[in-house]
Each structure stands twice: as C-alpha cells, then as structure tokens.
Amino acid sequence: MNAVYLAAQDPTLADFGKDPWWLVLGKIVFAFAFGLLATLLGVWFERRVVGRMAVRPGPNQVGPFGLLQTLADGLKMAFKEDILPRAADKVVFFFAPTISVISAVTALSVIPFGPSVSIFGHWTPLQVTDVPVAVLVILACSSMGVYGVVLGGWASGSTYPLLGGLRSSAQMISYEVAMGLSIVAVFMTAGTMSTSGIVAAQGDGTRLSLGGFELPTPGWYAILLLPSFIIFFIAMVGETNRAPFDLPEAESELVAGFMTEYSSLKFALFMLSEYVAMVSMSAVTTTLFLGGWRAPWPITLWAGANDGWWPMLWFFGKVILLVFVFVWLRGTLPRLRYDQFMRFGWKVLLPINLVWILVLAGLRSIEDWQTNDRLLVTAIGAGVLLLATLFWPSRKKQPKPSLQEQADSRPYGSFPLPPMDLQVPPSPRTRRVVAEREPANVVAGSESREV
C-alpha cells in the first residue's frame, strides 16, 4: 500500500479520464468556487494592503476586519440601474464581460492544485484535467480574455471605450510575444507542455558536492530560468491590465476606458474577470516557475511535506504571495505613458528574451547535461540580465530649450501660448466687449483732437 501511495503522488497524463462523474463535477465546482472566492477576498485584500501602504485603515466596518465589504459592494452593484447606451451594439455589449469571465475561469481547469490523493476511496489528482498541450490552453484563455475587453469597448458606441479597447488589443499583441518566449524556455527545460509534467520536472533537484559539502541545485524554474521568470511576470502584469500597465482603463485619460458605459452587473463582471485573471495568472506562474504545489525549502526537510493534502497549503501560499506583489505594484508604481509601455515591450523585453533563448538552446545542445550545467544556466541567466541592465542603450537627454526658443519653433496659430510677461490674457467675453466699445472710443478721440 505504501508503494502505491508513493507512486500516486506525482500525477501523469495517464491518471486523467478515469474519475467517476461525481468526482469530475466536484473538481469543476471547486475550481469555479476557488476563482469566485479568490475574487471576493482579493478585492478586500487589495484594499487592506493599499490602505496599509497609504497609512489608513481600509475597509474595517462591514463584518470582522471588513471581510463582508466586498460582498456588500457586490449586492449594491446588483441592484443598481442597468443602463444601455443608445448607440451600443446590444448583443456584443451584453456578452463582452461574459467572455472575459469565462476565459479567466477556464484557465484554472488545467492548474494542478496538489498531488494525487484519496477522495472517498478514489485516487485522483487535485486537478480538473490535463492535456499534452495544457500550457497552450492557458495561453489561449489569456488571449480570449482580451476579446471581452476589445469587444466591450467597440460595442459601447463611444469614443473613450473604443480607445481603451484598441489599447488593450495592442497591449495583448505586444506582451503575448514576450510571454510566449518565456514559456518556451520552460518547454525546453522540462521537455513537456503538460502542467502536471512541468511541476514534476521541478521536483528533481539534485545535490552537488563541492569540497565535501553537498549543496542543493535549483529545481524551481524561477531560479534556474531567472530571466524567463522576470520577463514572464512583467508580461503577465501587462496581460491582466494591472497597474502600472492599466492603460485600457486609464481613468486620468479615458474616464474609465473600455468600462465607461457599463453599469450594474455587467460592470461587476468586468471587475470579476480582472481579479479572476490576476489569481489565475498567479496560479500559472506558481505552476510554471515556483514548483507548483511542492513545498519550498526548508519545509522540504519534513518528510511528509509533499504528501496528502498539505501541498494545497503551499500552493495557495505561493498564489497569495504573487497576488500581494500585484497589489504592491499598484500601490508603488505610477502608470506608464503609452509610448513608454510599447517601447518597453518591443525594445527591451523582446530582445532580452530572444538572446536568453539562444543562450539556453546552446547550453541544451551540449551532450553532457548534468548538475553543473544547471548551475551554469542560472549563472549565465543572471549575467544576461545584469549586462542588459548595465549596457542597455538609452536616449541622450537633449538640453531643454528656453521659453522664447519654444515659442519661436512653433508655427503661428498652432495653439495659444501664455504671454512672455506672464500676464493672463483677457477672456473671450472681455475681448468681445472691448471690440464693441472700440468704435465709440475712436469717435470720441477724434472729436477731442479736432477741438
């Protein structure tokens, strides 16, 4: 029995498709409930953490520690008036937020929450399903989620939502490339696209003997593939439209962006999709780079750390840590300009990613791929990031022209400039009144000169 128990800990593709219908239904309900509950708690968590960073309490009145504040806000949204713009495309306007929510929740179906466990006498993986190309399913869900934002902005029949939708489409195209190249490094190292296989590949870290001491070699791809992990996380923030990359809903420029014309439950669905996507992508990052449900060191010193139901605790802890990083970024960094955002994606992330993939492919082509090579990959990856940071070309700052030079360089009539003596010009009404009185003043002045 012990041998069977140990063999069932690491799920494989052959372990899926054998569960009874009630167990499959239970897994689906659990994944959906996890996404919904994580959204409710995620909003509360973000408001509390940002409040702490801003030296204020945050929600603390409704329920213990303000835990029911998000539920109260959801009920308030449900009873608000649902307004449909006259120029909107009614069908697309209605289904756009639904597309975003479904895409975000579907990504959780291929995420391994834990190893194989016994549920009412049935050995089953703590995962809804797995396929040989599970990571491509996640990328497809991420891409489809942007369709909800783009269609919602287009179907609103208004200028600001349309601009927000166009920004979201350009943002997805730009950062999906960097995200895909980051995952290529994971494929090359793990040798599989299955999420359960990638988690299993991160658990085979060996020990290196140096001078009589045994040092653990990196097993998590966040350490072994450090450049890919950093670029993937940055691209993930851009994919989920979170600050400082929340340009599709920039309230300082576009009122509320693609959500400007939405209200009531449809507005709540867009908020739900944003937080579900944030939790889903945190779970994806945990699976691809942080060892999935495997316990971190030094918890692994305990022999039963990765057995039974304990791995779910480690998995949820890693997801909460990544969600905290999302909130931390929002409370720390200002929003980028659109040109800065696109330049960063195409001219910084993409070249570094391509160079790193070439370096990794060259190292993988070596015949003797042993423990020392794993440490070599980590060192080279850190070196690539350091060199890119130190020697990346930056634009030379031009001397700022004087105010007179700026005024002379602009064509006449382009836009009004303040006077050089900083006197406020008269208002249009004042100029109109002076123009009406000017003929009378001219006549009076001529008469006085004749006298």
Instruction: Give per-residue pLDDT as tens, 89-100.
Output: 888 888 888 888
Strand, helix or coil for residue 48: helix
Q: Which domain holds residue 170?
A: 2-391
Q: Is residue 411 part of a domain?
A: no
Give pLDDT, residue 286: 93
Q: Is residue 418 part of a domain?
A: no
- How would DSSP label each residue in 125-194? EESS---TTHHHHHHHHHHHHHHHHHHHHHHTTSHHHHHHHHHHHHHHHHHHHHHHHHHHHHHHHHS---
Considering the entire predicted model, what is its pTM?
0.78
The chain-wide mean pLDDT, for the chain, equals: 79
Say whether pLDDT at 211 is over 50: no
Q: Is residue 118 part of a domain?
A: yes
Share above pLDDT 90 across residues of the chain, in percent, rounded to a whole number:
8
Give pLDDT, residue 323: 92
Q: Is residue 417 part of a domain?
A: no
Q: Is residue 430 part of a domain?
A: no
- Check residue 292 and give left, alpha or beta (phi > 0: left; psi -120 to 50: alpha): left
Name the band, by pLDDT with cuts 50, 70 and 90, for residue 269.
Answer: confident
Q: Is residue 367 part of a domain?
A: yes
Q: Is residue 446 part of a domain?
A: no
In this predicted structure, which of 32-41, 269-278, 369-378 has the lowest mean pLDDT? 369-378
The pLDDT tens digits of the residues spanning 102-122 come to 888 888 989 999 888 888 888
Q: Is residue 445 part of a domain?
A: no
Question: For the chain, how many structural domains are there in total?
Answer: 1
Give pLDDT, residue 284: 93
